[in-house]
Chain A
Amino acid sequence: MIRQYLRAVRAIAAKDLLLEARGKRRANGAAVLALLIVVIFSFVFVRRVDEQAVIARGGLWIALVFATTLALSRGIAVEDANAAIEGLMLAPVDRSAIYLGKVCSSTVFVTAIGWVTLVAVTVFLGAPFEPALLVQLAVVFPLAAIGFSAAGVLLTALTLNSQVNESLLPVLLVPLVVPVILAGIELTGLAGGPFWLSEWFRILLVYDGTVIVTGWVSFEFVIEA
């Protein structure tokens, strides 16, 4: 039973990543949006604000959150076409497997967007990211991605049958992931220190756990509604 459940989670995650690798619709859109936000940041702030590190942190996380929102929104469109998600719902496993599978694939995807955004921030905002911070981000990006994805997948399922789902998602998602954005910005500023002892790191972990459990428990009811 558990093996079949895990097999379903893996199959759904692999399917999402294969679809993305083939179409690149989400990747291209999200990367371009992140790039544009960073470029606009560079026009507006770079020569006018002294603390470049602050600008870089803000630019990085704002670009990431909006690129992620776009990516999640497009991700659910794939399930909407031909009502493909109902095919997944017919699988003889608990429907929370669909949720976990999609959270896994989105986490990989959002983490990748994070690194792409970081490159853009480094180039356009001249961000002084040190090697120690890159190691730190290797932990923070996936944890933030889990938070974005866990909340985002649940909300996309909630808005799936809404005719205004693409405009509704950012309105619902961005306020919900404020703890992730704040924790991300703060943790990006703690270069070199033991970031895992930081209060923000704990907040990020607790947020991830809370949202995943909430989504895991409620997904079946949300998707049937």
Chain B
Amino acid sequence: MAFLSLSSVSKYFGPQVGVEGITVDVSRGETVLLFGHNGSGKTTLLRLIATLTRPSEGTISLQDTEFSRDRPTQRGDIGFVAHETYLYEQLTALENLRLHARLHGVELSRCESQLDAVGLTDRGSDPVSEFSHGMAKRLALARATLHDPALLLLDEPFTGLDEESLLRVTDQLRELTETTIVFATHAIDRGFDYADRVLVLDGGQLTRDIDTAQCPGPDAIKQDYVNAPGQL
């Protein structure tokens, strides 16, 4: 039984194709890397799974239940770290987390432990406007995992991070062994080590589904992608 299932999912923006005909199943606990160039549909696919936008065609199911506006509680199983942090800059780190804790019905005491997990314990009372990009990204990860989601979606989680932030983020991702993770990156060298599967997107279509255990390494995927785009 697939934990996350996409069936013939397409998203069009007027005449433009966001993603087209995506059919894929993801098992519980699996870590899936979405790889593709800019505009290949990675972000659109993540936004569809996060229910921030609806598919033009096809269905998305989580634990065998199709996404629907009538079932908003399904979103409680999803955490999403997007390009943007979804944080209010005038609020402090703790206030941001408390807001999302209230929205998700999570105990407020969990906010402190989340800050601790991303190494921002001593910055809880500082407004987010004073945070560096890396710190804001770490706080966004704390926000997204606050309600202990079964499915974590990450859009370019390694972009713009300094070494310290990168280590913190990757360490935290490694600790989420129970969580199903789908993350998008064009930095496949960094993401390959964490992934069980690599889904290659090109022009909004799924062109490859690669088991990382059967793959010699990220260079092979990159080379293959450059040499023969559009082949499944």
Q: Which residues of A contact B (CB under 8 A)?
A: 1, 4, 7-8, 10-12, 15, 18-19, 22-23, 78, 81-84, 86-95, 220, 224
Known: A81-B89, A91-B103, A91-B104. 16 other contacts (CB 8 A): A7-B103, A7-B105, A8-B103, A11-B102, A15-B91, A22-B91, A84-B88, A86-B82, A86-B84, A89-B51, A90-B50, A91-B72, A92-B72, A92-B75, A92-B76, A93-B72
B residues in contact with A82, CB < 8 Å: 84-89
A82-B86, A220-B69 known; A90-B91 Cβ under 8 A: no
For the complex, give the distance between the alpha carbons of A88 and B89 in Å.
15
| A-side contacts of B103, CB under 8 Å | 7-8, 11-12, 88, 91-93
Interface residue total, chain B, C-beta cutoff 8 A: 31
For A4, list chain B residues within 8 Å (CB). 105
Q: Which of B90, B99, B103 has the most CB of A within 10 A?
A: B103
The CA of A123 and the CA of B196, in the complex, are separated in Å by 71
Contacts of B102 in A (CB 8 A): 7-8, 10-11
Would you give the shortest CB distance from B162 to chain A, in whole angstroms?
20
Closest 10 CB pairs of A and B: A87-B86, A92-B76, A91-B103, A11-B102, A83-B84, A92-B75, A92-B73, A82-B84, A82-B85, A22-B90
Proximity string of chain B (70-97) to chain A, C-beta cutoff 8 Å, 1 when within and 0 when not: 0011111011101011111111000100
Asked if A11 and B90 sit within 8 Å, CB to CB, the answer is no
Q: Is B143 an interface residue (CB 8 A)?
A: yes
A-B contacts, CB under 8 A, total: 81
Q: Which residues of A are found within 8 Å of B75, using beta-carbon distances?
A: 90-92
Q: In whole angstroms, how far apart are the Cα atoms of A220 and B84 in the complex? A: 21
Quick check: B87 and A87 within 8 Å, CB to CB?
Answer: yes
Complex Cα gap A73–B129 (Å): 21
A87 and B143 contacting across the interface, CB-CB below 8 Å:
yes
Nearest CB in chain B: distance from A193 CB, A: 44
Given the known interface contacts A11-B102, A83-B82, A89-B52, the answer about A94 and B89 at a Cβ–Cβ threshold of 8 Å is no
A19–B51 CA distance with the chains assembled, in angstroms: 27
Contacts of A19 in B (CB 8 A): 88, 90-91
20 contacts between A and B (CB under 8 A): A4-B105, A18-B95, A19-B88, A19-B90, A22-B91, A23-B90, A81-B88, A82-B87, A84-B86, A86-B86, A87-B86, A89-B51, A90-B78, A90-B79, A91-B75, A91-B100, A92-B104, A94-B72, A95-B72, A224-B52
Whole-angstrom distance between the Cβ of A102 and the nearest chain B Cβ: 13
- Which residues from 90 to 122 on chain B have a C-beta closer than 8 Å to any C-beta of chain A? 90-91, 95, 99-100, 102-105
Knowing A15-B99, A18-B95, A19-B90 touch, does A90 contact B105 (C-beta < 8 A)?
no
Complex: chain A residue closest to B54, CB-CB: A224
Residues of B within 8 A of A8 (CB): 102-103
Q: How far is the CA of A159 from the CA of B183 in the complex (A)?
A: 30
Q: How far in angstroms is the closest Cβ of chain A from B128? A: 8
Taking A11-B99, A15-B99, A224-B53 as contacts, is the C-beta distance between A84 and B72 under 8 angstroms? no
How long is the Cα–Cα vector from A8 to B101 in the complex, in angstroms?
10
Q: Give min CB distance, A63 to chain B, whole Å.
A: 27
Judge whether A87 and B100 touch: CB under 8 Å. Answer: yes
Residue of B52, B72, B95, B105 contacting most chain A CB atoms (<10 Å): B72
Instruction: Name the A residues within 8 Å of B99 (CB-CB).
Output: 11, 15
Q: Shortest beta-carbon distance, B110 to chain A, in Å?
A: 15
Proximity string of chain B (23-53) to chain A, C-beta cutoff 8 Å, 1 when within and 0 when not: 0000000000000000000000000001111
Nearest A-chain residue to B78, judged by Cβ: A90
Cβ–Cβ < 8 Å partners of A94 in chain B: 72
- In the assembled complex, the CB of A82 is this many whole angstroms from the nearest CB of chain B, namely 5
Chain A residues near B53: list those with CB within 8 A.
224
Bound-complex Cα distance A138 to B44 (A): 48
Chain A residues with Cβ below 8 Å from B89 are 81-82
Write out the residue numbers on chain B whose beta carbons fall within 8 Å of the beta carbon of A78.
Answer: 88, 90
Q: Is the CB of A15 within 8 A of B88?
A: yes
Name the A residues within 8 Å of B79 (CB-CB).
Answer: 90
